[in-house]
């Protein structure tokens, strides 16, 4: 593994740091942690804070274009920065770069509860009876994403659990810091985790 990481650094240079996971898995919280720890964040502020994410979404709108096959040269400007990329778009990140992915997993029942609450806030109809089908689809997708991250030499991944971040943010901050080179402020990272925002629990 160390040799593979060495080859990756030589071949691709400084990595793009990617925060990823399913929608409503806590990726905005992770972005805020990394920002507090001292990493530069790639976010345009187009999507502003709201009831569902009162501390902000930390998104870059251009990321949504990755699957459209448009020009992706801008990704090179993100080397050394942190950007949020939904799990479904990881496969569309362009070649020629290395990516260190901090991937956040969350109990899928909590993910569904959070997604349904967001739809409710926006007045979008949904049927809770579909949750089981969606969970099975998510399980399949997550297996595929992990297989890709482990087989593609451009990627190096750290997998975290949402509940661990909430209940022991300092330990998790240490894991993230070691993964990203050891230059982050772990205390500040842990300090931004807000237990009051853990509102949808399985």
Q: What is the CATH number of the domain that holds 89?
A: 3.40.50.300
pLDDT of res. 74: 95
**Any domain includes 113:** yes
**Any domain includes 31:** yes
Hey, how many other C-beta atoms are within 10 angstroms of the C-beta on 202?
Answer: 11
- Our count of domains for the chain comes to 1
Positive or negative CA dihedral for 125, 127, 91, 83? Answer: positive
**Any domain includes 48:** yes
Least confident range from 11-25, 50-64, 106-120, 174-188: namely 50-64
Helices (H) and strands (E) in the chain, counts: 7, 4
Q: What is the pLDDT of residues 131-162, one digit of tens each?
A: 889 999 999 999 999 999 999 999 999 999 99
pLDDT of res. 63: 95
Q: How confident is the model at residue 99 (pLDDT cuts 50, 70, 90)?
A: very high
- Cα–Cα distance for residue pair 36/20, rounded to 1 Å: 18
Cα radius of gyration (the chain): 17
**Mean pLDDT value across residues 190-195:** 90
**Any domain includes 121:** yes
**Any domain includes 94:** yes
**Any domain includes 20:** yes
**Any domain includes 201:** no
**Mean pLDDT value across residues 75-87:** 96
List the domain range (segments joined by +) for residue 53: 2-191
pLDDT of res. 125: 66
* Those residues with Cβ within 8 angstroms of residue 14's Cβ, 6 or more apart along the chain or in another chain: 79, 80, 98
Q: How confident is the model at residue 122 (pLDDT cuts 50, 70, 90)?
A: confident
**Any domain includes 96:** yes
């Amino acid at each position: 593994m160390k040799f593979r990481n060495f080859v990756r650094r030589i071949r691709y240079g400084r990595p793009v740091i990617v925060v990823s996971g399913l929608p409503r898995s806590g990726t905005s919280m992770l972005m805020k942690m990394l920002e507090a720890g001292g990493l530069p964040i790639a976010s345009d502020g187009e999507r502003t804070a709201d009831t569902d994410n009162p501390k902000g979404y930390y998104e870059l709108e251009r990321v949504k274009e990755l699957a459209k096959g448009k020009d992706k040269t801008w990704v090179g400007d993100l080397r050394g920065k942190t950007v949020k990329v939904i799990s479904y778009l990881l496969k569309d990140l362009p070649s020629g770069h290395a990516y260190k992915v901090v991937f956040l997993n969350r109990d899928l029942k909590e993910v569904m509860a959070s997604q349904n609450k967001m739809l409710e806030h926006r007045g979008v109809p949904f049927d809770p009876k579909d949750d089981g089908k969606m969970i099975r689809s998510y399980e399949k997708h997550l297996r595929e994403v992990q297989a890709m991250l482990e087989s593609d030499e451009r990627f190096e991944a750290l997998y975290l659990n949402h509940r661990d971040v909430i209940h022991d943010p300092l330990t998790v901050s240490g894991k993230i810091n070691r993964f990203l080179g050891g230059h982050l402020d772990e205390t500040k990272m842990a300090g931004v985790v807000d237990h009051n925002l853990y509102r949808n629990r399985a």
